[in-house]
Chain A
Amino acid sequence: MSDTDDVGEDVTDEETDGPIITHAHGAGGEQMTELVETLAVSQFEAAEADVGLSALDDGSVQPIDDEHSVVVTTDSHVVTPLFFRGGDIGRLAVSGTVNDLAMMGATEPLALTSSLIIEAGTPQLTVERVTESMRETCEEAGATVTTGDTKVMGSGEIDTLAINTTGVAVVPNGGHVPDAGLSVGDQIIVSGTVGDHGISLLSEREGFDLGGDLASDVQPVNDLVAAAMDAGDVTAMKDPTRGGLATVFNEMAGKADVGIDLEEQAIPVSGAASSAGEVLGIEPFDVASEGVVVMGVASEDTDAVLDAIRDNPKGEDAAIVGEVVEDHTGQVVLDTGFGRRYLTPPEGEQLPRIC
């Protein structure tokens, strides 16, 4: 796909000699951030917004009248295989967008769009199975698809199916939660076991059968977020999707100019993901969860928020995993139970290790 020979005459020699977009640009991390800055942030004039493009948050927040703001988010989804343990691309496409809205504090999606790009030759019943799953996930999240688009591309021009979903919601002015809102003293809560989606998919792709417990956690968590926000002051939120927990904590620390101290042994990791991760040479903290939220909570509200999350079956493994500190600004320090080290974001594609 990145072979410039195939792009045709639209590409000039000068462009071919310039930087080329590679797989690594799509894997999260610093390279991706730089690309997004170049392709999007620097191109468009800043709109009047509480959270705009340059914030690189999960979505945007713009006031529409004296009382309300509109929250918009969009996400394109590709995944191999389309149907995986614990979910499928349809469930992923709806959950991803519903959760991105929720991470902005918008837990009641007003409308979702769905654009399908389908490879010619794909059985219609397969796509129907995906849209059926989208419908079921919408019902679970209290959302609905109100408009969409369907394109068919030639065989080999796209891998079976890609889905873009956009979500829109309305929140009271100032009622949104940015990912940059942490302040010193806030406690950090993780709502469930981390890394299940990434580790399960990687092991499935490698053909490893590591027992029945390992599955993607893909699910909408807007109900969980609503309960947490009702229970107390949630200062910042993010879902640890691409790049995992390590990436989102570093982003949150960097954006708020604070440090984060974490207790490794408090962070929920399922036994299955932990052992599979060791076999695969992949850290659960470095790969995606698709049904988990991490949040900063004002310290006096921590217990109330934790209880509210744990009352929901999706949040039964929730735990307080650390706190926001003044030291090591912009960095995340992990106490391993043995010693302390930095938790740094993974770079590029996650590659397995040999020994």
Chain B
Amino acid sequence: MATNADAGDDELQFRDPEKAEQLTDELEALMDDIGEPVNVMHVCGSHEQAIAKFGLRSILPDDLTVRMGPGCPVCVTNMPEVDEAVELAEDGKIVATYGDMFRVPGTEKSLADARDDGADVRVVYSASEAAELAEEEPDREVIFFATGFETTAAPTAAVLTSDPPENFSVLSAHKYVPPAMEVVAEMPDTDVDGFLAAGHAATITGYGLFEDFVEEYDTPAVVGGFEPIDVLFALARLLEFIRDDEAGLENAYSRCVSEEGNVPAKETMWEVFDTTSGEWRGIAEIPDANLVISDDYAQFDARERFDIDVETGAADPLTEDCICGDIMAGKADPDECELFGEECTPQDPVGACMVSSEGTCKIWLEYGGQPDI
């Protein structure tokens, strides 16, 4: 049975260092009760950002490991999907995409490489900004290379249902979180004692979505927010479940997340998108986890409108040594990869985890990972 709790009353409280200290003491006490190491997986790049940016790993109990799973939609975008966007850009069309997607390597090129070679690639903040771009450039085809989980899929859907310009289309690389969590939970050598569920995606889907998950996999989950206090508070609730050996579900982000989520956004999303199975980079072929544009909106589907002919060339041989998949499955930390910070850097990424600011490797490189300081 899900319960509702929240970490503080107003915004400033979520960055209160004193409160953080109380929560850290609580975490220590809970770990003492549990008496053995605990592995928590979170599935959202913004959680990794918050943990790294505020230096939270340096204050967590030593035997509490918090790792990021497949929580970065950009990271799990498959190379051929990037190749499609690159091909459209090189074919003289305007390709608009989120900044995160800009440097993600395809088989041979990223969109940033394509821009350096003269293609017209624009960085936008939203689907509606891409649609506005199409209005400003009526003589050009404008393709929005759309990526992200439910949080960005719903806004893409909202643009498509509100009569966008005819020269606008969407190349969807949108992903759907719940099936990916199931795949990770089912992996034989995954060792996850509890999930810190993504507050952003849950804002749309509602936390009720996780009821079946916790029951089926007998693993507790807590929906958490993204301020330092949110994260620490959610971890404390999760440790309580683990201590009590209870596969419970709790919403620790009730100021944004409800049980049923954002119903109109969900309706719009499912009007525009269907699910299909697809390869998540570095993880597996995941059933029903890719969002593709439904037949009703086929005229805005770039894959229907254009003949995209992606040749699968030889990938960078270094990708063989890349352990992105293990990192996203929660089986390894970035510094266990021999390419980390050497051959693989944000400027010249081998694996996708190094590309996005949501990617574990990039975040570890940027903020120093689990520093002994």
Please tell me if B306 contacts chain A, counting CB pairs below 8 Å: no
Taken residue by residue from 276 to 309, chain A's Cβ proximity to chain B (1 for < 8 Å, 0 otherwise) reads as 0000010000000000000000000000000000
Please tell me if A20 contacts chain B, counting CB pairs below 8 Å: yes
Interface segment, one of A38-46, A48-56, A171-179, A342-350 = A342-350
Which of A1-16 touch B at CB < 8 Å? 2-3, 5
**Contact indicator B347/A348 (Cβ below 8 Å):** yes
Which of B117-150 touch A at CB < 8 Å? 117-118, 123, 125, 147-149
Please tell me if B34 contacts chain A, counting CB pairs below 8 Å: no
**Contact indicator A3/B118 (Cβ below 8 Å):** yes
Please tell me if B219 contacts chain A, counting CB pairs below 8 Å: no
Taken residue by residue from 345 to 367, chain B's Cβ proximity to chain A (1 for < 8 Å, 0 otherwise) reads as 11100000000111000000111
**Contact indicator A342/B368 (Cβ below 8 Å):** yes
Residue from A2, A327, A352, A354 with most neighbouring chain B CB atoms (10 Å): A354
* Chain B contacts for A338, CB-based, 8 A: 17, 20, 54-56, 59, 228
B343 shortest CB reach to chain A, Å: 14
Please tell me if A245 contacts chain B, counting CB pairs below 8 Å: no
B138 shortest CB reach to chain A, Å: 19
**Contact indicator A206/B125 (Cβ below 8 Å):** yes
* Chain B contacts for A3, CB-based, 8 A: 116-118
A282 shortest CB reach to chain B, Å: 10
* Chain B contacts for A31, CB-based, 8 A: 347
**Contact indicator B152/A337 (Cβ below 8 Å):** no
**Contact indicator A339/B118 (Cβ below 8 Å):** no
Q: How far is the CA of A339 from the CA of B149 in the complex (A)?
A: 30
Q: How far is the CA of A342 from the CA of B52 in the complex (A)?
A: 10
**Contact indicator B58/A340 (Cβ below 8 Å):** yes
User: How many residue pairs, one in A and one in B, have C-beta atoms under 8 Å apart?
Assistant: 108
Q: How far is the CA of A348 from the CA of B53 in the complex (A)?
A: 19
Contact of A351 among B99, B117, B148 (CB under 8 A): B99
Interface segment, one of A22-30, A82-90, A94-102, A224-232 = A22-30
**Contact indicator A339/B54 (Cβ below 8 Å):** yes
A3-B118, A30-B347, A347-B347 are contacts. A355–B151 as well, Cβ < 8 Å? yes
**Contact indicator A336/B346 (Cβ below 8 Å):** no
* Chain A contacts for B151, CB-based, 8 A: 355
Count, chain B residues at interface, CB 8 A = 47
Please tell me if B108 contacts chain A, counting CB pairs below 8 Å: no
Please tell me if A204 contacts chain B, counting CB pairs below 8 Å: no
**Contact indicator A355/B117 (Cβ below 8 Å):** no
* Chain B contacts for A346, CB-based, 8 A: 366
A344 shortest CB reach to chain B, Å: 6
* Chain A contacts for B57, CB-based, 8 A: 339
* Chain A contacts for B116, CB-based, 8 A: 2-3, 20, 22-23
Please tell me if A129 contacts chain B, counting CB pairs below 8 Å: no
**Contact indicator B100/A353 (Cβ below 8 Å):** yes
* Chain A contacts for B44, CB-based, 8 A: 355
Of chain A, the residue at the smallest CB distance from B231 is: A338
Q: How far is the CA of A354 from the CA of B151 in the complex (A)?
A: 9
Q: How far is the CA of A214 from the CA of B352 in the complex (A)?
A: 34
B18 shortest CB reach to chain A, Å: 10
Of chain B, the residue at the smallest CB distance from A5 is: B118
Contact of B103 among A2, A30, A351 (CB under 8 A): A351
Please tell me if A158 contacts chain B, counting CB pairs below 8 Å: no
Please tell me if B373 contacts chain A, counting CB pairs below 8 Å: yes
Of chain B, the residue at the smallest CB distance from A337 is: B17
Q: How far is the CA of A342 from the CA of B370 in the complex (A)?
A: 10
* Chain A contacts for B58, CB-based, 8 A: 339-341
* Chain A contacts for B152, CB-based, 8 A: 354-355
Of chain B, the residue at the smallest CB distance from A30 is: B347
* Chain B contacts for A36, CB-based, 8 A: none
Which of A177-232 touch B at CB < 8 Å? 206
Please tell me if B102 contacts chain A, counting CB pairs below 8 Å: yes
* Chain A contacts for B200, CB-based, 8 A: 355
A276 shortest CB reach to chain B, Å: 13
* Chain B contacts for A353, CB-based, 8 A: 98-100, 356-358
Chain A to chain B: the 6 pairs with minimum beta-carbon distance, closest first: A339-B55, A342-B368, A351-B99, A339-B58, A341-B55, A352-B99
| Extra inter-chain contacts (8) besides given A338-B54, A344-B365, A354-B99, CB under 8 Å | A22-B113, A23-B115, A333-B371, A336-B54, A340-B371, A340-B373, A342-B373, A354-B152
